[in-house]
């Protein structure tokens, strides 16, 4: 039961920080580095806690998670170099990829890209129609209404992460019940 609580706390911290990153990106087009650190720390606590308790089957191998983060870093570094995304987006996506693992990386990328496309369409609408009377200075809406071509990709990254978490089974009854149904050596199971 303690493992389930640790796992859920780490998952919900990650999701909460993802929401904060999306809001920060909408408000200021910046994602603080500390958010990426919190997500990596939550993953390490969950992974190592489960690993040392002999319950690491919830996750893929550590190498799968490292590969996922490495591939995400390479992809987002290229996008950053092309000035398509910001450095905060790159770091945040890389941190989230630690949680995903290589098996679900394409799902993460697909839904992240889909979310980015929807945000791009919204940005075009805002740019053309200028629906906000006096948006907060420096916010995404203010920048887009003044002609900038920007998207708060932290929102899309968080969206992709949530969908990948669902596919990875982090919320599935099978995974959650596995924490409770762990056989003990005392009763011979």
Residue 60 placed within a domain: yes
- Residue 178 pLDDT: 85
Question: For residue 68, is it within any domain?
Answer: yes
**Alpha-carbon torsion (162, 167, 168, 173), positive or negative:** positive
Q: What is the pLDDT of residues 19-71, one digit of tens each?
A: 999 999 999 999 999 999 999 999 999 999 999 998 888 999 999 999 999 99
Total domains, the chain: 1
13: domain range? Answer: 2-178
Q: Is 188 left (phi over 0), alpha (psi -120 to 50) or beta?
A: left
Q: Distance between CA 123 and CA 130 in Å, rounded?
A: 10
- pLDDT tens digit sequence for 73-117: 999 999 999 999 999 999 999 999 999 999 999 999 999 999 999
Band (pLDDT 50/70/90 cuts) for residue 189 is very low
Where is average pLDDT lowest: 4-8, 18-22, 159-163, 183-187?
183-187
Residue 188 lies in a domain: no
Lookup result for tokens 């904060």: 20
The verdict on residue 189 lying in a domain is no
């Amino acid at each position: 039961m303690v493992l389930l609580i640790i796992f859920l706390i780490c998952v919900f911290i990650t999701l909460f920080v993802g929401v904060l990153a999306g809001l920060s990106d909408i408000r200021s087009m910046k994602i603080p580095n500390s958010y990426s650190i919190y997500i990596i720390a939550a993953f390490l606590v969950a992974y190592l806690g489960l690993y040392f308790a002999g319950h690491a089957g919830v996750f893929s191998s550590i190498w799968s998670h490292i590969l996922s983060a490495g591939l995400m870093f390479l992809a987002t570094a290229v996008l950053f170099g092309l000035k398509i995304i910001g450095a905060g987006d790159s770091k945040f996506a890389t941190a989230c990829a630690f949680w995903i693992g290589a098996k679900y990386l394409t799902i993460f990328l697909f839904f992240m890209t889909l979310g980015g496309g929807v945000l791009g369409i919204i940005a075009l609408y805002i740019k053309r129609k200028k629906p906000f009377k006096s948006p907060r200075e420096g916010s995404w809406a203010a920048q887009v209404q003044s002609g900038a071509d920007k998207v708060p990709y932290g929102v899309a990254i968080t969206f992709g992460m949530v969908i990948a978490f669902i596919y990875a089974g982090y919320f599935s009854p099978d995974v959650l019940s596995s924490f409770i149904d762990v056989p003990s050596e005392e009763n011979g199971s």
